[in-house]
Chain A
């Protein structure tokens, strides 16, 4: 038991970040069927904001990172995705690649591609005792933050007006417009929420890794996409569960694989993913009516 607690905290701190990232992707996908690869830069750019503002007080740096993420995401929606709305998902997917590449190159141009040190949550570097073992404070904070955000997002979707409109749009976009739901507002809400989640991931993940580079967000977004597919595209619960699942499995592999095989952890992870998709090609929680979009 005593050595299980740190493993679990590890697993859920990794899985939580994947879950938040998968949710950020899933929110936009469910509303407008856009698989947004630029989500990687929604994570990377605020992480660079943390780097630029590393001399500033923590609260200020984090607020700025959140603001940067929201502005970037709204600007992307307005400039790149809104003109393409209603066009087939493949075109929008390519557009999101383009945005992603563009922002990545922009970061290389502005900051070069070397690692930049960041430590936005330096005050969480210690450990606390939990169930008789000492647990890393940052990881514990990560787990708690993820859980709090998941609950907050659930409450938002369930009990607020915007949340109701988002769920309606996710289930049947055409019908929702007919019922008076404003398409622009719902999509903007999805992008803002997605950016908020991305900013939180940027803060927590950069605090864990200690550096940022132009492909910083990509490494986590790739895995989160896998998590979204595992959970069932277009289903937010599925995205969250898929994220946790992939994180937990990755950590357990890291912990319990024989040391010689650990470098191939990802290979084992993706093997499991393939096996899951063989048996559940629609993911664990398939969304309804993915194709129907008239």
Chain B
């Protein structure tokens, strides 16, 4: 199974947010989407999840044209994303946040409750289940965001800066969690990440964006050896 973006272009007014970018995500692999601020990473994830219609280009899910699908259709077909801002329901408990996603897949309330606890347990959040979401720490909030995404039975999981605001220890823990999710849910994962060290360990492939264009792609080693990447992303002489 494949989620594929071909020659995607997105413009906001005169600004080219994404220009002629192609990216392919297979089931069972972890791809890192990296680049400086304003490179178009989130815009590309928005396009891949139906939140942004591209000006040009095509999105295909398992070969089927999904370019004009609304966001909830992507989600229903297993393309699930998280948000930088997480967007939990602040007034509901952690368990209820996850249950809502499960109920959305057609489960009854009792079944949803049971499964929500399993997912929370899987992510080490059992102790948080009864807390209101607004009481969570930053790191826990992000993990609950991932729990809610897992509840939607993702085949492709798009994580928008899941490690933002976490300390190094938490971020490394998150990396292990993401790898575990790939193994246990056998889904394809696209991670937006700033921290190069984390990305290098986690991802099989990297896709580097700079000012809306693809700067480099390949294995982490290939990307690191790419002169254009060294020049633009790490700075000259890096």
Contact = CB atoms under 8 A, between A and B. Distances in A.
Given A160-B109, A164-B99, A180 B92 contact: no
B104 interface: yes
B109 A159 contact: yes
A179 B152 contact: yes
Contacts of B92: 167-168, 171
Contacts of B108: 161
A180 B109 contact: no
Q: How large is the interface on A (under 10, 10 to 19, 20 to 34, 35 or more residues)?
A: 10 to 19
A172 B72 CA distance: 14
Given A161-B109, A178-B71, A180-B152, A172 B104 contact: no
Nearest to A165: B103
B58 interface: no
Interface string B87-121: 10111100010011101111011001000000000
Interface in A157-207: 159-161, 164-165, 167-168, 171-172, 175-181
A175 B49 CA distance: 13
Contacts of B112: 161, 164
A180 B101 contact: yes
A85 interface: no
A167 B89 contact: yes
A171 B90 contact: yes
B213 interface: no
Given A164-B96, A167-B92, A168-B89, A177 B109 contact: no
Contacts of B89: 167-168, 171-172, 175
B163 to A, nearest CB: 21
A181 B104 contact: yes
A262 interface: no
B103 A288 contact: no
A175 B148 CA distance: 11
B91 to A, nearest CB: 6
Interface residues of B, number: 22
Contacts of B96: 164, 167-168
Contacts of A160: 109
Contacts of A179: 75, 100-101, 104, 148, 152
A180 B90 contact: no
B100 A181 contact: yes
A95 to B, nearest CB: 24
A169 B182 CA distance: 30
A165 B100 contact: yes
A178 B75 contact: yes
Closest 10 CB pairs of A and B: A180-B104, A171-B89, A168-B100, A161-B109, A179-B101, A179-B104, A177-B72, A161-B103, A175-B87, A181-B104
Given A167-B89, A172-B87, A180-B104, 17 more contacts: A160-B109, A161-B103, A161-B109, A164-B96, A164-B109, A168-B89, A168-B92, A168-B100, A171-B89, A171-B91, A175-B89, A177-B72, A179-B152, A180-B72, A180-B76, A180-B101, A180-B105
Interface of A: 159-161, 164-165, 167-168, 171-172, 175-181, 288
Interface of B: 71-72, 75-76, 87, 89-92, 96, 99-101, 103-106, 108-109, 112, 148, 152
28 contacts: A159-B109, A160-B109, A161-B103, A161-B108, A161-B112, A164-B96, A164-B100, A164-B103, A164-B112, A165-B104, A167-B91, A168-B89, A168-B96, A171-B91, A175-B87, A177-B72, A178-B71, A179-B75, A179-B101, A179-B104, A179-B148, A180-B72, A180-B76, A180-B101, A180-B104, A180-B106, A181-B100, A181-B104
